[in-house]
Chains A and B, each alone.
Chain A
């Protein structure tokens, strides 16, 4: 079970302990990239492990900070890579959760100006939140002076920042104008997540949504409400859908400062897998530090890969 008040030990999960921990759990929340798959390649043995968990009656949910795919796209990828059948309601992506947040936080009829992908737009549409913005900026002229004169949509009461490959100074300019309008009080600033980098194969990386959120926050001199891990909003979405008990739930992830931190903060049992971005040495560094903030990045357990759970799930 999760250790109370820090002091988590990051023990390898195997043998009897694995049987006990998995047996006691009613639900498992999985991060996806670096846990179930890397790019288009499933982690070997991951699908079987999840298949056995499902067969044992465990609730499986998928919790991802990725804001450029819809829940439908995730269920399709799970199916394509051989994972147990999942419905969109089992997938909690930051795009879907941001749309839920805005539906609840915006007054009826209010719209969002979106720095984000078509998928983020699609989730907003599905949630019934009017929005504008995805795609390249529609510029009324070549210079910033022109952009600052373009009409603003009177319905906009929120700026939402997600992963946006069309991010540009012009869009940043528009976002700032909405946030400043009316003295700044009436417009929400929401970000899907703060990930700095999206790792690619071979050690390269592209800038993550966190960079774009930081640009907007700096220009506007205010802090965004962040939907994604490690903040707890996405966990609250899972609870509201499935009424899970944190004490009987395991969070499985590959990033300490998102997956594990959220799991620890929400009172879940946390399991780190080493098939993603984190090394054991990093965890040990946090374990040995005196700093409470670093201590809260330490998981209860780790495995080299979630395939290592198979022996504990055998019949």
Chain B
């Protein structure tokens, strides 16, 4: 079982030295709201100069990769390219493209996707070559069937949309996919806002179906990373702030994990999982932790 050891001093060099690359979660790791975590931009710059690959894997399904690229720049992170960024919005679109367009799709064409989510998510689905239900239709005559319902972060979610999703899901061939399982997200004032997980629970309950969840802790986003970059898990570190998603994702993908304490999870929670008897709890324990990712800087060469 992972030991949840503070990473500092000589330990930093021992762990960072051999690493070829690092995967970073974004919210609560690189930034909190509109503020970069102090030292985070410098860390990424130092990693680049050390020749280590940096990739970003985020469950946030609001933003398109293009928006995220602009966000990195706006918050002071230099040189981050869109191809380094794997959001659950992008990966959900890739997943749907694979299932609906790949292998020739099903008879009758790829069909449409009913998206519960914002414009960032909708854009990624369109960019993947899929058509959205409710767009460009001339009326009930243009009846390409809806072959997937995609649940993302939808701050315009309503009972009517829930009912509409259920109508499509009466067809057992229609997929139910969720961008991520997160039950809530922190706001800068310490309050919480509901996450995709809560909306997915409503759709699952109404439809009697279980959603295929693209985001962390499931490993599909890592498959997307490997396909694009050919990463070696044994030489890659996962850095995140949420035990139930980031750290479990790392464990599931065979990566060593570092918990940073600038986000959702508290050290006490990691320690409680470590003390628990349950096997499942042990998978939520990180190998290492730091107070902030800026603490990693001394582990890199000058």
Chain A residue contacts of B204, Cβ below 8 A: 214
Chain B residue contacts of A216, Cβ below 8 A: 198
Chain B residue contacts of A176, Cβ below 8 A: 184, 192-194
Assuming the contacts A177-B191, A180-B192, A218-B197, asked whether A144 and B155 have C-beta atoms less than 8 A apart, the reply is: yes
Please give the distance in Å from A167's CB to the nearest CB on chain B: 4
Assuming the contacts A167-B159, A169-B156, A207-B163, asked whether A180 and B191 have C-beta atoms less than 8 A apart, the reply is: yes
Closest-by-CB residue of B relative to A170 is B155
Complexed CA–CA distance, A169 and B194 (Å): 8
Residue pair B206, A207 in contact (C-beta under 8 Å): yes
Assuming the contacts A167-B159, A167-B162, A218-B197, asked whether A210 and B205 have C-beta atoms less than 8 A apart, the reply is: yes
Please give the distance in Å from A149's CB to the nearest CB on chain B: 8
Restricting to B118-166, which residues have a CB under 8 Å from any CB of A? 154-160, 162-163, 166
Query: Assuming A168-B159, A176-B184, what are 14 further A-B pairs, CB within 8 angstroms?
Result: A148-B191, A166-B158, A167-B158, A168-B157, A169-B194, A196-B205, A207-B163, A208-B205, A214-B205, A215-B198, A215-B202, A217-B201, A219-B184, A221-B184
Per-position 1/0 for B167-197, Cβ under 8 A of A: 1001000000000000110010101111101
Main secondary structure of the interface of A (DSSP, over half): helix
Residue pair B167, A166 in contact (C-beta under 8 Å): no
Residue pair B167, A204 in contact (C-beta under 8 Å): yes
Residue pair A214, B202 in contact (C-beta under 8 Å): yes
Please give the distance in Å from A70's CB to the nearest CB on chain B: 20
Restricting to A198-256, which residues have a CB under 8 Å from any CB of B? 204-208, 210-212, 214-221
Chain A residue contacts of B170, Cβ below 8 A: 204
A197 within 8 A of partner (CB): yes
A54 within 8 A of partner (CB): no
Complexed CA–CA distance, A215 and B162 (Å): 11
Assuming the contacts A196-B206, A207-B166, asked whether A219 and B195 have C-beta atoms less than 8 A apart, the reply is: yes
Residue pair B162, A207 in contact (C-beta under 8 Å): yes
Per-position 1/0 for A173-195, Cβ under 8 A of B: 10011001000000000000000
Number of A-B contacts (CB under 8 A): 94
Chain B residue contacts of A210, Cβ below 8 A: 205
Please give the distance in Å from A278's CB to the nearest CB on chain B: 16
Per-position 1/0 for B288-299, Cβ under 8 A of A: 000000000000
Closest-by-CB residue of A relative to B156 is A169
Per-position 1/0 for B199-223, Cβ under 8 A of A: 1011111101000000000000000
Chain B residue contacts of A221, Cβ below 8 A: 183-184
Chain B residue contacts of A169, Cβ below 8 A: 154-158, 194, 199
Give the contacting residue for A211; candidates B154, B189, B205; CB below 8 A: B205
Chain B residue contacts of A212, Cβ below 8 A: 159, 202
A307 within 8 A of partner (CB): no
Residue pair A218, B183 in contact (C-beta under 8 Å): yes
Complexed CA–CA distance, A93 and B168 (Å): 31
7 pairs, A vs B, C-beta closer than 8 Å: A169-B157, A176-B194, A211-B206, A216-B198, A219-B194, A219-B197, A221-B183
Give the contacting residue for B158; candidates A168, A196, A206; CB below 8 A: A168
Closest-by-CB residue of B relative to A166 is B159
The interface on chain B, measured as residues whose beta carbon lies within 8 A of the other chain's beta carbons, has a size of: 31
Give the contacting residue for B198; candidates A143, A165, A172, A197; CB below 8 A: A172
Please give the distance in Å from A234's CB to the nearest CB on chain B: 21
Please give the distance in Å from A199's CB to the nearest CB on chain B: 12
A300 within 8 A of partner (CB): no
A164 within 8 A of partner (CB): yes
Give the most central of B159, B170, B198, B205: most A CB within 10 Å.
Answer: B205
- Which residues of A come within 8 Å of B, CB atoms? 143-145, 148, 164-170, 172-173, 176-177, 180, 196-197, 204-208, 210-212, 214-221
Please give the distance in Å from A200's CB to the nearest CB on chain B: 11
Closest-by-CB residue of B relative to A208 is B206
Task: Across the A-B interface, give the 10 residue pairs with the lowest CB-CB distance, nearest first.
Answer: A207-B206, A219-B198, A219-B194, A218-B198, A218-B201, A215-B202, A211-B202, A169-B157, A211-B205, A167-B159
Complexed CA–CA distance, A29 and B162 (Å): 33
Please give the distance in Å from A180's CB to the nearest CB on chain B: 6
Residue pair A206, B163 in contact (C-beta under 8 Å): yes
Residue pair B201, A215 in contact (C-beta under 8 Å): yes
Chain A residue contacts of B208, Cβ below 8 A: 196
Assuming the contacts A207-B202, A215-B201, A218-B198, asked whether A173 and B193 have C-beta atoms less than 8 A apart, the reply is: yes
Give the most central of A144, A145, A148, A168: most B CB within 10 Å.
Answer: A168
Residue pair B159, A219 in contact (C-beta under 8 Å): no
Give the contacting residue for B193; candidates A148, A196, A214; CB below 8 A: A148
Please give the distance in Å from A221's CB to the nearest CB on chain B: 6
Complexed CA–CA distance, A217 and B158 (Å): 17
Please give the distance in Å from A138's CB to the nearest CB on chain B: 15
Closest-by-CB residue of A relative to B181 is A218
Complexed CA–CA distance, A220 and B198 (Å): 9
Complexed CA–CA distance, A180 and B191 (Å): 7
Chain A residue contacts of B184, Cβ below 8 A: 176, 219-221
Give the contacting residue for B201; candidates A165, A173, A177, A214; CB below 8 A: A214
Complexed CA–CA distance, A168 and B163 (Å): 12
Residue pair B192, A219 in contact (C-beta under 8 Å): yes
Closest-by-CB residue of A relative to B170 is A204
Please give the distance in Å from A147's CB to the nearest CB on chain B: 8
Chain A residue contacts of B162, Cβ below 8 A: 167, 207, 211
Give the contacting residue for A148; candidates B166, B187, B199; CB below 8 A: B187
